[in-house]
């Protein structure tokens, strides 16, 4: 799983109040994505410039674990792999209907 979106939303005081987090899983020709708006508790809100890379990584990892994203992404990919493939009957294009 790779985090592909980490988008902070700030209030008028430039404090981060929500972070939009997105992740993606790729398995060969198949891929799945997931996103979530994550509100930041008031006591944990701080200025955008006060966020460190470690803070962002920690938030992303905790959301992914809490919401079991890896299982969801894997299930989405498995569903794609098991999806029936649409085919045509041999010679169908020549059939007059």
Answer whether 81's CB lies under 8 Å from 50's CB: no
The predicted structure's pLDDT at residue 69: 98
What is d(CA 69, CA 77) in angstroms, rounded to the nearest whole number? 12
Domain residue spans in the chain?
2-82
What is d(CA 31, CA 7) in angstroms, rounded to the nearest whole number? 21
Q: Which residues of the chain have pLDDT under 50?
A: none
pTM for this model (two decimals): 0.81
The predicted structure's pLDDT at residue 38: 97
């Amino acid at each position: 799983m790779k985090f592909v979106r980490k988008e902070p939303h700030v209030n008028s005081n430039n404090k981060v109040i929500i972070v939009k987090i997105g992740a993606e899983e790729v398995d060969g020709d198949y891929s799945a994505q997931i996103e979530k708006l994550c509100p930041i508790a008031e006591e944990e809100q701080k200025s955008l410039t006060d966020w460190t890379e470690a803070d962002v990584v920690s938030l992303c990892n905790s959301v992914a674990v809490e919401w079991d994203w890896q299982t969801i992404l894997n299930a989405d990919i498995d569903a794609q792999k098991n999806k029936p493939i649409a085919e045509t009957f041999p010679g169908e294009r020549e059939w007059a209907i």
